[in-house]
Amino acid sequence: MDDSNHDESVARNLYKEWHLAHTIEESMLTDFEFSFMHCMHAFERWLLQAARALQLDEISSQEIIILHVVRMMDRGKDASTVAHLLNRDDLSNVQYSLRKLEKLGLITREKFGNTSRYCISERGRDLTERYAAVRRNMLVRQLSQLDSVTDRLENGTELNELLAGFFDVAARRAATYGGFDSENAPSSKKKQKP
């Protein structure tokens, strides 16, 4: 038995009851998706706990991320740019978060032609600096214990960006082909009826 057949057999045995994993590629993708979700939720918990450590209880993990993006490169950004940088298509939610951050005094808004640009405020700058110090002390220090951490992070970033593109393409295709069943899905082989 060659290695690929053995891998497929192992995958089928491990995932024989799992509808998302009939092949080795499907089982590996399923494993990746679950590990990615675990990482995503752990990251959100980290963001919230770091904010709590700084006595900032009133904002969500997404708002913390948006705050850091507004400060990125110390240049003002409009809501569309913030959404684009985060690969989000829910512009109204991004706008809501920006208004909330402005009300909290963490960012400022300035009119720029027909649009508004958001900039970090002094209070927001102080908070993001303190967040960076907490992050450096509690998270970066742990990462530095890993062998080849910069290479691993670079490779992980490249893989995530590549997969984000695949997921975006699949999402567009799914939106285009709404209302199909599994036998009529694009790129699937029709099963022959007995």
Query: How do the domains of the chain map onto residue ranges?
Result: 7-53
Whole-number pLDDT of residue 12: 54
Query: Cα–Cα distance between 116 and 113 in angstroms, integer?
Result: 8
Whole-number pLDDT of residue 186: 58
**pTM surpassing 0.85?**
no
- Which residues does the chain have with pLDDT short of 70? 1-17, 178-194
Whole-number pLDDT of residue 125: 97
Kindly provide the b/e burial profile for residues 74-103, where b requires at least 16 CB atoms within 10 angstroms of the residue's own CB.
Answer: eebbbbebbbeeeeeeeeeebbebbebbbe
Query: Cα–Cα distance between 135 and 47 in angstroms, integer?
Result: 9
Whole-number pLDDT of residue 194: 47
Whole-number pLDDT of residue 85: 97
Whole-number pLDDT of residue 190: 47
DSSP label at residue 137: I
Whole-number pLDDT of residue 184: 58
Q: Strand pairing partners for 108?
A: 119
Whole-number pLDDT of residue 22: 78
Whole-number pLDDT of residue 94: 98
Whole-number pLDDT of residue 144: 87
Whole-number pLDDT of residue 3: 64
